[in-house]
Amino acid sequence: MKQTFADKVLAWFDVFGRHDLPWQQSLTPYPVWISEIMLQQTQVQTVIPYFDRFMARFPCVNALAEADLDEVLSLWTGLGYYARARNLHKTARIISEFHQGEFPRSQQDLVKLPGIGRSTAGAISAICFNERVAILDGNVKRVISRVFAIGGWPGQRDTAERLWGQAEAVLPHERINAYTQAMMDLGATVCVGKAPLCEACPVNEGCLALEQDSISDYPGRKPKVSKPTRRTIMLVVKTRAGEIRVAQRPPEGIWGGLYSFPELTPQALEALTPHLPSAPRALDTLKHSFTHFHLMIEPMLVEIDAIEDIPRIDHEAWLSEDNSEAFGLCRPAQKIIQSLLG
């Protein structure tokens, strides 16, 4: 009998797939959920040490639910896309309080939780509960778009609908758990973005993009839009003893809940300068890029003798070399602090 698409993928996974990733040791919902959220926009090798530290500190969903958001964010620092960590915390509390610590078993119910989209919900329900549903993360989009020559940018609704339809059409009726992991693996290790290993691909026979010598055309690229550039000044206060003042940002918005430096306009800095214990000194300008804009950050350093020499600000904290890892810091603040503490 002729092998189906799913049969080929599963046979390849049994021999060549990854079976020893940390979250594969116990295919239960909590570690699978944590890994799926961490792996959004982030490579496996980057995620592994974060996953290990996170699981050591929060070994179950109830432990995560009981934690302070500050500690959750501190363990997330460096992974980026911090809304993921805030949503993890929210979802853990919902599961702990309203589901008695047990994850919903279906994609339909999982997708109702904060930060869990259709593909992540499908991954959890398929891997942990063998629900026959498709996933469509970045790796799977690449495989499906190439094999079946589905053009267009996956961020467009009609392209996404075609990809979802095809992903569902090739689902096997058995071993959904293994098939879901196999598809993610195939995209991550063989059908990669640049220089895919087509000769090692189990579905290269019948891959329309390969037949048409158009692999690089799939998936379609996002239409280019020039990003605007914004500017801000960050006021950095440091004592002679090496203590550095940071302030926690509001829970929502850019760097929500993280610690950073107060931001000022040039006019506000000019008005504030006469009232400071010492004249601000410019540090190296930083560029930080977000999805929709670039941010040019001009840090201005004010050095003081002691904490008491400057008025308090809302939500302030003072960090030093000894306690800096206890704070969830936005990436620019991390860089500035590292340059000051050496």
Tell me 214's DSSP state.
-
Q: Which residue has the tokens 């944590």?
A: 34
36 catalytic, yes or no? Answer: yes
CA quadruple 92, 95, 96, 101: dihedral, nearest 10 = -110
Q: Got the DSSP string for 31-76?
A: HHHHHHHHTTTS-HHHHHHHHHHHHHH--SHHHHHHS-HHHHHHHH
Calculate the alpha carbon distances from 202 to 3, 9, 80, 286 in Å: 11, 6, 34, 45
**Number of Cβ within a 10 Å radius of residue 211:** 11
Q: Are strands 229-239 and 294-304 parallel, antiparallel or unpaired?
A: parallel
CA dihedral (103, 184, 171, 149) positive or negative: positive
Angle (CA) 137-160-189 rounded to 5° is 30
Tell me 256's DSSP state.
T
* CA 209 remoteness from chain centre: 29
Q: Which residues form the catalytic set? A: 36
